[in-house]
Amino acid sequence: MSDLRYPIGKFLHDPVANLEEVAAWIDQIDALPGDLRAVVTGLRDDQLDTRYRPEGWTLRQVIHHLGDSHMNSIVRFKLALTEENPTIRPYDEKGWAEQADYRAFPPAHGLDFLQLLHERWAILLRSLSPADLARTYVHPVSGIKRLDWTVGMYAWHGRHHLAHILGTIEREGW
């Protein structure tokens, strides 16, 4: 964990994934809320307000960011499943993390939100056929993305932020 920005490395994968990889990624998405809850339950407010790296977010912000990011992902999946190659709308993650709800909404509620969101998301993801997984959307900055690749990217995203929190706990000796 020498790189605090990318403690598990960047997500690097071919644009097309096989069905075994996708199934494993869906399992990781499904497990994330429980894994996250097990790690952060019992942390004090001052610990939750610790930044995982200089200039980085607090652990509290990371928890709420996961809910916002994955909520946006579900919308992207729904758009790609119901429209032909839609252009999705990015959002200002840093700006969202500075909003009052990230400070005032209890992390336990954020974990409850993430749990329900992931339960619903996993049902959707497990229902997708190979043809569904081959559907695409357009990200205005990074281009055309397939849904199978996107499953992997969001599985990585959850593990990436979980590693931020685990690394902070380890470095701080909590």
| pLDDT tens per residue across span 84-110 | 999 999 999 999 999 999 999 999 999
Q: Give domain status of residue 71, yes or no.
A: yes
Q: Give domain status of residue 56, yes or no.
A: yes
pLDDT at 15: 85
pLDDT at 43: 97
Q: Give domain status of residue 15, yes or no.
A: no
Q: Give domain status of residue 79, yes or no.
A: yes
Q: Which of 94, 69, 47, 82 is nearest to 150 (CA)?
A: 69
Give the helix/strand (H/E) hosting 47. helix 45-48
- Structural domain including 139 reads 36-169
Higher-pLDDT residue of 103, 1 = 103
Query: pLDDT for 5-46, tens place per residue?
Result: 999 999 999 888 999 999 999 999 999 999 999 999 999 999
Q: Is the pLDDT of residue 1 over 50?
A: no
Give ∠ CA 161-40-11 in degrees, rounded to 5: 10
Question: 83: exposed, middle or buried (C-beta count within 10 Å: 0-12, 13-18, 19+)?
Answer: exposed
* The model scores a pTM over 0.75: yes
What's the structural domain count of the chain? Answer: 1
Q: Which of 60, 42, 41 is nearest to 51 (CA)?
A: 60
Residue 6 DSSP symbol? -
Give the start-end residues of each E strand in the chain. Answer: 136-139, 143-146
Q: Give domain status of residue 22, yes or no.
A: no
Q: Give domain status of residue 16, yes or no.
A: no
Q: Give domain status of residue 23, yes or no.
A: no
Q: What is the CATH number of the domain that holds 47?
A: 1.20.120.450
pLDDT at 48: 98
Q: Which of 108, 102, 115 is nearest to 41 (CA)?
A: 108
Query: pLDDT for 118-160, tens place per residue?
Result: 999 999 999 999 999 999 999 999 999 999 999 999 999 999 9
pLDDT at 16: 87
Q: Give domain status of residue 28, yes or no.
A: no
